[in-house]
Structure 1
């Protein structure tokens, strides 16, 4: 049969008194009153059924049982302090892991990385690239930078950086560039459109914003990553 532990707050108060040799100093360290420390000591003695301290002049001294408990409690709390300090040190030294779609990372984040390093020189940043829907709860991630729309997850803090603007881009090397400059959005209906497989909603969303029927769009070559799509557009392929 395993004996239950007495209240941990009472043990903590006793350990402080035993280590500092003073009820008053223990109260200062634990940020509680002298009376609160005395009540915790009484609770501990009642739980154990034995006296741990006795008066000596204007102070207190440990009984034999108190000395025995002081040694055990002191060792246990010191190990706890050491372990907590180590965990805090590891947390402070660990990099901040940011998940980001590979295309957004390559086209938007990396060109701004030097400025970020200058503004936050103490930030130890580790980038984790991925495509498609990033799960912000994925193990190992501290935060994610991604394209998303409300409603936001109720269990997460969301910082909206900017409103996304969706629109066609056309290289001057495209054979019909001159024809389409200044043309209305409907001019693209029926034309093969480059599109990212990771964001199939992009062109339909643009069409609805232009009061066009998304069903009339003609989707052409698909690319797994937005980065490859933009490179194809720059080459005049669509």
Structure 2
């Protein structure tokens, strides 16, 4: 026995008019004329044998039948919309939007993209450089890769990846490199120290971890971005401080040297997403990132 359904085009026009409270606004949403929506509503009323709207001053009000049909049609269209969106995502999965600070993106993520694509072919990334703090909703992102420390926003699910380790680095081109290379860490208290505006606590934390009083340290030039800081250090302009993972390639090549080593800061590399995000690609990416950082 065939299903007894209302005329679907007419139902679509009625649902829009009922939801928006206006035939004109429904016509705009559906990209048809005012008269076309009115005719479709009349088709539905004729098929039902009862009015769905009644005049109320200069506007329209739903009848009891109209209210019941509005709720049923709204639920049906919302369910169809959700199912259709899910089917489209499954058929053509959208790229995972990963936000991260520009320095992490340039110095750590991008050099590993080829390996990531080979190891996780199911994870297609859209990379978004982000400066400053991340809002609690991670607006415009599916996940964020960052260096930070608790407390985290209550709405976040946080995948801890590895502890952050920072340390001083300098170039063999530095004028005092021969003297500094073999000097104890305390010698840095007499040096103008390069730093970033966003991490003023980095040098004091490192000195404290080495058991040294940081009260007499001499701040040198400040930079807005870590990338610029490290380029200045590589040019021999001073001693910089940076996370180990972001300078490892420079250390391996000899472009920079880290004579005094690295210490943990209490911060962590993390992959964060909004709590309740069930995208399996996030967990897969977290596992891959954790392995890379441990290596």
TM-score range (shorter-chain normalised) is 0.5 to 0.7
Alpha-carbon separation, structure 1, partners of 2:130 and 2:233: 22
Q: 1:134·1:146 contact (CA, 8 Å) conserved in 2?
A: no
Which residue number in structure 1 is paired with residue 120 of structure 2? 120
Residue pairs, 1:206-221, within 5 angstroms: 206-221=206-221
How far apart are residue 89 of structure 1 and its match? 3.6
Alpha-carbon separation, structure 1, partners of 2:83 and 2:124: 20
Deviation per CA, 1:165-207, whole angstroms, max 9, x where unpaired? 1110011111111111132111000210110112111111111
Q: Which has the higher contact order (CA 8 A, sep 6+)?
A: 2
Which residue number in structure 1 is paired with residue 198 of structure 2? 198
Deviation per CA, 1:69-110, whole angstroms, max 9, x where unpaired? xxx799777644531222214544332111101011111111
Which of residues 82, 85, 96 in structure 1 aligns to 2:83? 85
Deviation per CA, 1:199-223, whole angstroms, max 9, x where unpaired? 1111111111112222211111111
Residue pairs, 1:132-211, within 5 angstroms: 132-211=132-211
Q: Which runs of 5+ in 2 are unaligned?
A: 4-68, 239-295
Alpha-carbon separation, structure 2, partners of 1:127 and 1:171: 31
Alpha-carbon separation, structure 1, partners of 2:141 and 2:194: 32
Q: 1:98·1:143 contact (CA, 8 Å) conserved in 2?
A: yes
TM-score, normalising length: structure 2: 0.53
Q: Which runs of 5+ in 1 are unaligned?
A: 1-17, 20-71
Alpha-carbon separation, structure 1, partners of 2:73 and 2:164: 57
Q: What secondary structure, in the 3-state scheme, does the structure 1 residue paired with 2:237 have?
A: coil
Alpha-carbon separation, structure 2, partners of 1:81 and 1:153: 31
How many residues are paired up? 173
Structure with the greater alpha carbon radius of gyration:
1
Which residue number in structure 2 is paired with residue 100 of structure 1? 100
Q: 2:96·2:124 contact (CA, 8 Å) conserved in 1?
A: yes
Q: CA RMSD in A?
A: 2.8
Cα 1:105/1:76, change in 2 over 3 Å: closer
Which residue number in structure 2 is paired with residue 14 of structure 1? none
TM-score, normalising length: structure 1: 0.64
Of stretches 107-116 and 209-218 in structure 1, the one that deviates more from structure 2 is 209-218
